[in-house]
Amino acid sequence: MFVTNGDALKGRFNAADSVRLIWKSVELNPVSYYFLVEGCGLVDGQFGPWVRLVSDVKELDLLCTGEGLEALNVNQVQLLAPSSMTKRAGLSMELLSEIRIKPGTESSPVYEFITKAGQHFESATN
């Protein structure tokens, strides 16, 4: 979930599927992970590039499998990982290669994120 205040909205207009909000800024939870997804597809009825910020693996999976109306192709996904996940200072942004469910956690998934650089991060932190 993303948080913003009404006065932080730059504008709002009707789109084909819903009301589109244009934000000046948005607050991200500093202990949560997010995905910055880049792709091509339908944007307001025309084919072109798009970028989405999503906050869960299920929503990311819908985009990657093309189940969202606008998502015809995903080009790359970046993981925005909190310091609690990476053990580094501040938020890290890593190009993502793969997401796996940690064996034995299928009923309540713990995700393993593998970056293009070969680093492994887990969604659950100790």
Three-state DSSP at 118 gives coil
Give 9's strand partners.
23
With 0-12 CB in 10 A as exposed, 13-18 as middle and 19+ as buried, what is 112? middle
Tokens of 79: 């993981």
pLDDT in tens, 70-79: 667 888 999 9
Torsion sign across C-alpha atoms 126, 104, 114, 71: negative
pLDDT in tens, 7-19: 655 555 555 566 5
Give 80's strand partners.
34, 93
The domain spans of the chain are 29-122
pTM of the predicted structure, to 2 decimals:
0.77
